[in-house]
Amino acid sequence: METTDPVALYAVEGATYDGGEGNLCVSCHQPRRIYPGAEDGVVTDITTHWGPHHGGQGSMLLGVAGAGVEGSPSDHYDVDDTCVGCHMGENDSHTFEPEVATCQECHGDEVEDFDIEGVQTEVQAMLDELGDLLVAEGVLSENGPDGHPIVTEAPENVALALYNWIYVAHEDGSLGVHNPEYTMALLQAALDALNQ
């Protein structure tokens, strides 16, 4: 199965993903809904499956679908055939594990892992801090990969923070690799919202 036709994102009005052979991937790997906003300062529809739901990799590469932040496409959106270029590499591997050799083409031979310039380390630290705050707010069951939203309502600032945590921690899952600047901006907006 193959398609290279551009993909209109379901949930993000006016957003189109045009990443060559990666378009097939983004046909599925995109959110089905975006941040709903609040009524009278409260978000009332938080469920255990709340958030972008599911697979926000395409929107993350485009720099869209987060809450409270205007983004822009990542440099990784310019990789030939986007998803396929990084996740299948020259070997046409179907493990979908990205290959460091692909990163080295742009980032240099000194790159040994995906934590280029410490981005993944910084994103993980921000996620940990944000997750702890969300657990304390009573909207996240636990911090970490098993954490899920609690059925509740929340003030807009708390809901925004939860949405961005879900988007980065669960739905994108790259710890910033797909779009470092946008990822960190989403997490900083979430931390700022909780600390206001």
pLDDT tens by residue, 150-173: 999 999 999 999 999 999 999 999
The average pLDDT across 62-86 equals 95
pLDDT tens digits, one per residue of 120-151:
999 999 999 999 999 999 999 999 989 999 99
If pLDDT is split at 50, 70 and 90, which confidence band does 68 have?
very high
What share of the chain in percent tops pLDDT 70? 96
Q: Residue 14 carries which DSSP code?
A: T
If pLDDT is split at 50, 70 and 90, which confidence band does 92 have?
low
**CB distance 117 to 108 below 8 Å:** no
**HSE (side-chain half, CA atoms, 13 Å) at 192:** 9
Query: What single-letter amino acid sits at 116?
Result: I
Q: What is the pTM of this model?
A: 0.95
Phi, psi for 149 (deg, rounded to 5): -60, 150
Give the number of residues written for the chain. Answer: 196
Cα separation, 162 vs 156, whole angstroms: 10
